[in-house]
Amino acid sequence: MNSTTTNLSDCPEVKVPFPVFFTIGVVSLAENLLVVVAVIRNRNLHSPMYCFICSLAAFNTIASVTKTCENFMIALADVGQLEKTGSPETKLDDVMDSLLCMSFVGSIFSFLAIAVDRYITIFHALRYHNIMTMQRAGTILGVIWITCGVLAVLMVRFFHFKFIMICFVVFFIISLAIICFLYVYMFMLARIHAKHIAALPAGSGGQRQRRWGSNMRGALTLTILFGVFVVCWAPFFLHLIIIMVCPMNPYCECYRSLFELHVVLMMSHALIDPAIYAFRSAELRHTFRKMLLCSDWKLCS
């Protein structure tokens, strides 16, 4: 609620009906819970990569549900059922901002973990199960969630300090740069490895070629997920930067008048990701089909 300010420009503020936020929140919650349940029920999906994907789905859900609840509070305040400046409401709003911030930072950390996992899978395939064990993946996830929780609370608590604002912006830019570098480097090496495999005698590299193709398909899927994340979150993040850089400029206010559309786009990220999982992963798609269409899991196995 503290993100809404007086519009000082001639650009009217664009309003999105609350049912739109509510629908996106409910559908995204159902989709991401379906992903988590599918990974838990299918033993073939019990791997570090899918653990990281579950973590990403959880962060997506937190972001979408948090913004839905916040917009519900704003709707109540607009009809006089809730005070915008009351102490309990302010504290609750800080909690929601912390959860949203945690979701944002957690998504970046999850993408970074997935990128590293894909790199090890492709270029250190023989040592992968020794390097990336389930126990190690669990430790990484624990560190990610604890770190994100602490960072979110600190960012929201001290966001009015310019140093914290700068750190937040720098963190976003550096994190995106690192992830982009990993993916670019991965695909550059992939081209070299593909040429080496193609140069092998006919029949000797068939199995290796299939495994390589499967790993590269997984890397491409995660690249698409990362691209969608950037597209969905960038306008919202730019909105935060504008608040810090030019809060009173009329041109900046015109951009800020689209805030609710930026929120819809941000929430849509949690809606799009599960669709990409289902479209790109045959195993996950098969698991969804069994869960939704079969009453007896064992008979459908």
Query: Average pLDDT, stretch 32-53?
Result: 86
pLDDT band at 57 (very low <50, low <70, confident <90, very high): confident
pLDDT, tens digit (0-9, with 9 covering 90-100), for 172-212: 788 888 878 877 777 777 677 666 666 666 555 555 556 55
Q: Please report, in angstroms and rounded to a whole number, the separation of the first and last CA atoms in the chain.
A: 48
Q: Is the pLDDT of residue 282 over 60?
A: yes
Is residue 281 within 8 Å of residue 38, measured between CB atoms? Answer: no
Is residue 173 within 8 Å of residue 237, measured between CB atoms? Answer: no
User: Chain centroid to CA 235: how far?
Assistant: 15
Nearest CA to 256 among 2, 12, 1?
12
Q: What is the mean pLDDT of the chain?
A: 78
pTM of the entire predicted model:
0.77
Is residue 266 within 8 Å of residue 232, measured between CB atoms? Answer: yes
Nearest CA to 257 among 2, 12, 71?
12
pLDDT band at 226 (very low <50, low <70, confident <90, very high): confident
